[in-house]
Structure 1
Amino acid sequence: MKHIVLTGGGTAGHVTPNIALIPHLRELGYEISYIGSYTGIEKSLIEAEGIPYYGIATGKLRRYIDLKNLSDPFRVIKGYFEARKLIKKLKPDIVFSKGGFVSVPVVFAASSRRVPVIIHESDMTPGLANRLSIPKASKVCCNFPETLKNLPEGKAVVTGTPIREELKAGDKQRGLAFTKLSDAKPVILVMGGSLGAVNVNNHVREALPELLKKYQVVHLCGKGHLDESLKDLEGYRQYEYIKKELPDLFAMADLIISRAGANAICEISSLAIPNLLIPLSAQASRGDQILNAHSFEKQGYSLVLEEENLTKESLLTAVDRLYKERDSFISAMKGSGQTDSIAIILKLIEECRK
């Protein structure tokens, strides 16, 4: 039987595209194993899929001063030898990496064992983990045409991001029943990513008195970020994290307010939901979300509000504009001719495996 090892972790965005590939890999007759960190978010997400999971040591390679910079390189080295032992034991035909720092030891271990590696880079510019791994890869998948100039010629392929099929199977009425909201007012779905977005949360909640006059709000605010004082507010629902019901929430959403992580915005655009993107500022990140957001804005898929310009007033203005012009955003997304990313990636996997 053909055998593939998937890797990637640290955030849900480094895991969900792998999950999207799993049923299609099974259809092609692949045995699937996953290598991730011992305790990362990827462990619970992958084990829920019934995939054998193997943990290794991992450390973050930071570009700023931190005491952990003294110990983490040793954890990465330990992870490499653990991954090398696992690759020898599992004998995969190929490795597919979605990135994150846990993937670096796995990619290097696979290369040392002459196992071909395919990497997926979601953002417009490769992150540090993928930049380290790219020399070891046979192919590098990416989302944006602009990314090609940052990658070795002959390795890079624009594939888009694998989208979970279940996201397209949501039902608006199920969503309304789950949230106990009505269809009398349009629904705004606020998403801050798997870890939440405190600044976005605060400004959305500050704007609620005005927002709820015209809209209903479903707020995915991240673990530990529920506001108990708002739990009985009419037209407002808040959840730390939603998994099973997420397709139904997408189906009932008229608008989305989101960070601009590449996987999240690719999922939103594939569903053609008008969206306001509030990318992480350059001070809080390497600036990849800003590039992602403005690429989508340029293509007419999204409205962008920079975090440094985020106020209650600017948020209300942007939401009203997005709703008023929603048809043009929907039209742009539906006319994007988005590639069948899963089919392209599966073809690359088959070719590299052989």
Structure 2
Amino acid sequence: MLAVLSGGGTAGHINPALALADELVSRGWDVRFAGTPGGVESRLVPAAGIPFTAFEASGFDRSHPASLAKGVAKIAASTGKAKKWFADIKPDVVVGFGGYVCIPVARAAEKTGVPVVLHEQNSVAGMANKYLARRADAVCVTYECSAESLGATAPVTVTGNPVRRSVIEADRAAGRAMFDLAEDDFMLLVFGGSLGARHINEAVVALKDELLARPNLHIVHITGPKELDAVTKALALTDDEARRWHLLGYQDRMGETLAAADAIVSRAGATSLAEISALAIPALLVPYPFATADHQTTNARAWVESGAAFMMPDDELGSDEFKAKLFALIDDASVRESMVAAARAQKTGEAAAALADVVVGVATAR
């Protein structure tokens, strides 16, 4: 059996696809990936050992009507290219994860009789998935609340957001060894996604003295590449302080880093939340306020309501409430234990298998 996975634009679309690829390959399937030539998928997918085929696709700017014609022309050309590709490789199913590249790939599948499954990672659906949901054979979602906005005509299944095995199976001891942590050290992980988050950085830096006053506390602070110099300057760590405040601009070993953490402060992107949940890490979430339709706040609210996390609006960072929630997370073991239990109840670690079950069911039903 052969599955073609498609997604583009952000790692948030690609990582769940790679998690599904892991699961399907473990079941004896072949997997190919269709993405854009210049997107992050063109780097991440080949690095994962999955054959990659590029298709041009782009959105449009409503204030520039000419961009619509250009986008439509790209999609039409890529649809034709994908049809020829399908005639050669003969896929059994196409799975779309979002991004404009999914449109020509799914349209080619529709025209050639290949079933289509969609997965929506966020609480608010993206434009491509909204367009394709009415044509898909099955739709899977992370959050039940996003099903209605998709307008799907096919069955909708809440699977959760798949997480790669490299994260789920990451070794905590290896992660803690990276930062030279003793068994009784407490590790607070701070990060804002792949590009960092200036407001989070500033709020945590402002609490430097109070954080370092806790002798067994280590802060692993991933600032984002563009923020590293500014944060380094603002902290002005002594050599002794730097042994417990570990500054990184970027971290490519996030699986082990997450596994090593005892608590986390982060944004509320779909992939970050899925990984935090799969590893049951107590968290203080700070949604990015300018995400489309404020979907990170909706994402985070689901975890807060389940008891798996605290949440703080971005414009309230630095407030007394932020400080109180952060130190409750660090100092109160009962708070962390409650969050761990709530996160484990979400069963996010089973999401890849749940999505694979839907994919296999659709592919074998024809």
Do both share a fold (TM > 0.5)? yes
- Indicate the residue corresponding to 1:342 in structure 2: 352
Describe how 1:175-190 pairs up with structure 2 within 5 A: 175-183=175-183, 185-190=185-190
Say which of 297, 307, 311 aligns to 2:314: 307
1:78 CA drift (Å): 3.6
Work out the CA distance in 1 between the residues paired with 2:63 and 2:293. Answer: 11
- Indicate the residue corresponding to 1:23 in structure 2: 22
Alpha carbons 2:161, 2:348 under 8 Å: kept: no
- Indicate the residue corresponding to 1:222 in structure 2: 224
Q: Specify whether residues 299 and 68 from structure 1 end up closer, same or farther in structure 2 by C-alpha distance, changes over 3 A only.
A: same
Say which of 278, 283, 297 aligns to 1:290: 297
Q: Specify whether residues 112 and 37 from structure 1 end up closer, same or farther in structure 2 by C-alpha distance, changes over 3 A only.
A: same
Alpha carbons 1:124, 1:143 under 8 Å: kept: yes
Q: Specify whether residues 176 and 29 from structure 1 end up closer, same or farther in structure 2 by C-alpha distance, changes over 3 A only.
A: closer
- Indicate whether 1:321 and 2:328 are aligned: yes
TM superposition score normalised by structure 1: 0.89
1:20 CA drift (Å): 1.3
Matched residue of 2:174: which SS? helix
- Indicate whether 1:276 and 2:284 are aligned: yes
What CA deviation, in whole Å up to 9, does each residue of 1:57-94 have, x standing for no partner?
12134567798567444434443333333333322111
What CA deviation, in whole Å up to 9, does each residue of 1:137-161 have, x standing for no partner?
1101011222333343542111112
- Indicate the residue corresponding to 2:191 in structure 1: 191
Alpha carbons 1:15, 1:42 under 8 Å: kept: yes
Matched residue of 1:340: which SS? helix
State the one-letter code of the partner of 2:273. I
What CA deviation, in whole Å up to 9, does each residue of 1:275-334 have, x standing for no partner?
0111111x4432111111111111111100011222265432221122322122112223
Work out the CA distance in 1 between the residues paired with 2:202 and 2:112. Answer: 49
Structure 1 residues 201-210 or 260-269, which shifts more? 201-210
Work out the CA distance in 1 between the residues paired with 2:244 and 2:66. Answer: 45
Structure 1 residues 261-270 or 196-205, which shifts more? 196-205
Alpha carbons 1:8, 1:14 under 8 Å: kept: yes
Work out the CA distance in 2 between the residues paired with 1:68 and 1:240. Answer: 35
Matched residue of 1:286: which SS? helix
- Indicate the residue corresponding to 1:237 in structure 2: 246
Work out the CA distance in 2 between the residues paired with 1:286 and 1:61. Answer: 18
- Indicate the residue corresponding to 1:124 in structure 2: 123
Structure 1 residues 91-100 or 321-330, which shifts more? 321-330
- Indicate the residue corresponding to 1:330 in structure 2: 340
Work out the CA distance in 2 between the residues paired with 1:38 and 1:188. Answer: 37
Work out the CA distance in 1 between the residues paired with 2:271 and 2:325. Answer: 23
Alpha carbons 1:12, 1:42 under 8 Å: kept: yes
1:174 CA drift (Å): 1.9
Work out the CA distance in 2 between the residues paired with 1:285 and 1:154. Answer: 25
Q: Specify whether residues 223 and 132 from structure 1 end up closer, same or farther in structure 2 by C-alpha distance, changes over 3 A only.
A: farther
Say which of 234, 257, 264 aligns to 1:256: 264
Q: Specify whether residues 67 and 24 from structure 1 end up closer, same or farther in structure 2 by C-alpha distance, changes over 3 A only.
A: same
State the one-letter code of the partner of 1:189. L
1:206 CA drift (Å): 3.5
Unaligned runs of 5+ in 2: none
Q: Specify whether residues 63 and 328 from structure 1 end up closer, same or farther in structure 2 by C-alpha distance, changes over 3 A only.
A: farther
Matched residue of 1:5: which SS? strand
What CA deviation, in whole Å up to 9, does each residue of 1:239-278 have, x standing for no partner?
33333x3222122211111111122212211211100111
Work out the CA distance in 2 between the residues paired with 1:82 and 1:224. Answer: 38
Q: Specify whether residues 191 and 89 from structure 1 end up closer, same or farther in structure 2 by C-alpha distance, changes over 3 A only.
A: farther
TM superposition score normalised by structure 2: 0.86
Structure 1 residues 56-65 or 285-294, which shifts more? 56-65
Q: Specify whether residues 342 and 172 from structure 1 end up closer, same or farther in structure 2 by C-alpha distance, changes over 3 A only.
A: closer
Structure 1 residues 259-268 or 188-197, which shifts more? 188-197
Alpha carbons 1:204, 1:312 under 8 Å: kept: no
Work out the CA distance in 2 between the residues paired with 1:199 and 1:81. Answer: 45
- Indicate the residue corresponding to 2:97 in structure 1: 98
State the one-letter code of the partner of 2:343. M
Work out the CA distance in 1 between the residues paired with 2:46 and 2:358. Answer: 26
Work out the CA distance in 1 between the residues paired with 2:312 and 2:353. Answer: 34
1:353 CA drift (Å): 1.1
Structure 1 residues 40-49 or 188-197, which shifts more? 188-197
State the one-letter code of the partner of 1:11. T
Unaligned runs of 5+ in 1: none
Work out the CA distance in 2 between the residues paired with 1:339 and 1:47. Answer: 24
- Indicate the residue corresponding to 1:163 in structure 2: 163
What CA deviation, in whole Å up to 9, does each residue of 1:87-115 have, x standing for no partner?
33322111011112222221122112221
1:166 CA drift (Å): 2.3
Matched residue of 1:15: which SS? helix
